[in-house]
Amino acid sequence: MTEILERRSAITGLGQSAIGRNLERTNLDLTLEAVLAAIEDAGLARADIDGLATFPGGALNARDAGRYASAGVRDVQDALRLELGWSHGGAEGPAPLGAVVAACLAIASGLARHVVVWRTVTESSQQGSGSRAEVAHAAGLGNARVDGYRQWSIPFGAGSSANLLALYTQAHFDRYGTTREQLAQIALTDRANAADNPRAVFREPLSLDEYLGARMISTPLCLFDCDLPVDGATAVVVSHVDAAPDARRPAAHVHAVGTAMRGRPSWDQFDDLTTMAARDAAAHLWSRSDLTTADVDLAQLYDGFSFLALAWLEALGFCEPGTGGEFVEGGKRIARDGDVPLNTCGGQLSAGRLHGFGLLHEACLQLRGDSGDRQLDAPQTAVVANGGGPVAGCMLLTRGTP
């Protein structure tokens, strides 16, 4: 077998800023809080850091900035006066996890030894007025017309990812008989887990009746199927595996990544409207490992919308295509004491939309044994998945050994 070069990397440090709604702090401020915490957590000094990577980078065009803006590599390098051998910021890749994958490859090739990777969001502040400004902004309302790929959806009122995900969810419902009661289990499981996460934003219990009675956003997705915009930053230190024993806490070793992008990378042209790019990224992941789903002790699956987590369960092979509804029915299999403990921090639906990095952070915490009241019993292997629709990336992380 080809050498799996990402296996030369391990996540040695974790940091998070304050997380909450309308924190009224700048993106860079939140980013630096998380970055410095991660460096400290790894037992490193600023001088040890020779690489930076982030999604989506700081150079996105103004149209995207409202929603995706993040402190860029240059901002962080300058603020901390780092001396870097390598850096990377970019949005076109295997979802936000692409920044971690880039860091692994830089480490494998010797371009860097300790890379700080972050994702920062200020979506809560951006949306504070409730105006969903990013949609109107993306539509160019009030000035320019819509061009690029958005012209194929926004003029038809499909301005939000909620609409695009709803189209996929309905296709799954139609083809496989998946129900809202089944889908609800993603949101209910997240909420149950959030109760034991002091950093989660929504921690009060959520019942099936409340879910079913919630207002519709875009059928069949209701309010509780949509994640929660927050402000916050998450950072991890990715180090060469040789340095992992020096970390203060047990490192999460990168065992394999899945980054495939096949089919057509757009919402309405993807070949199968019940699967998404997750299907191919997941297949790619398993092609780079001898582990199987039976080895996985916990799953941190992207839940920007509830259906995405269900689609990832199918894509990763925890259940057959089309049977995700059945698999999660009743919630037992995906509970913390179930076969596939899912989104143990509360996921993005309840803990807040940290754009996938919150899930990565939680996977590492669990592997380290640092998850507090929600800690699983000595997990050894975690799968983390990011993305929806035409973008997807996933990773297998292991404790102790690559």
Partner 1 sequence: MSTDAPTRPLPALTPETEFFWTSGVDGRLRFLRCGDCYSYVHPPAPVCPQCASRSVAPEPVTGRGTVATFTVNHQDWGLMDPPYVIAIVELVEQPGLRLTTNLVNVEAGAVAGGMAVQVCFEQVDDVWFPLFEPAT
Confirm or reject binding of residue 170 to partner 1 (CB under 8 A).
Answer: yes
396 bridge partner residues: 256, 383
3-state DSSP assignment of residue 81:
coil
The token duo for 136 is 């109107």
Which one among 62, 215, 294, 377 touches partner 1, defined by CB under 8 A? 215
| Size, binding site for partner 1 by CB under 8 A | 45
**Closest CB to partner 1 among 162 and 392?**
162
Confirm or reject binding of residue 217 to partner 1 (CB under 8 A).
Answer: yes
232 bridge partner residues: 121
**Closest CB to partner 1 among 4 and 141?**
141
3-state DSSP assignment of residue 104:
helix
Least distance (Å) between residue 253 CB and partner 1: 40
Confirm or reject binding of residue 176 to partner 1 (CB under 8 A).
Answer: no
Q: By C-alpha distance, which of 290, 280, 261 is closest to 7?
A: 290
Least distance (Å) between residue 134 CB and partner 1: 9
Least distance (Å) between residue 39 CB and partner 1: 40
Confirm or reject binding of residue 216 to partner 1 (CB under 8 A).
Answer: yes
Distance CA(13)–CA(35), nearest Å, equals 9
Of residues 66-105, those binding partner 1 (CB under 8 A):
none
Of residues 233-272, those binding partner 1 (CB under 8 A):
266-269, 271
Interacting span for partner 1 (CB under 8 A) from 100-108, 160-168, 205-213, 344-352: 160-168
Least distance (Å) between residue 267 CB and partner 1: 8
Interacting span for partner 1 (CB under 8 A) from 17-25, 80-88, 210-218, 327-335: 210-218
Of residues 126-145, those binding partner 1 (CB under 8 A):
131-132, 135-136, 139-141, 144-145
DSSP annotation of 21 reads S
Q: By C-alpha distance, which of 169, 204, 182 is closest to 350?
A: 204
Report CA dihedral (52, 382, 283, 236) to the nearest 10 degrees.
-10
Burial class (CB in 10 A: 0-12, 13-18, 19+), 111: middle
Least distance (Å) between residue 143 CB and partner 1: 11
Distance between alpha carbon 90 and the CA centroid of its chain, in Å?
A: 16
Residue 261 CB contacts under 8 Å (≥ 6 apart), including other chains? 94, 277, 280, 281, 390, 391, 392
Amino acid identity for residue 170 in this structure? Q
Contacts to partner 1 by CB under 8 A: 131-132, 135-136, 139-141, 144-147, 149, 151-160, 162-163, 166-171, 174-175, 215-221, 266-269, 271, 273
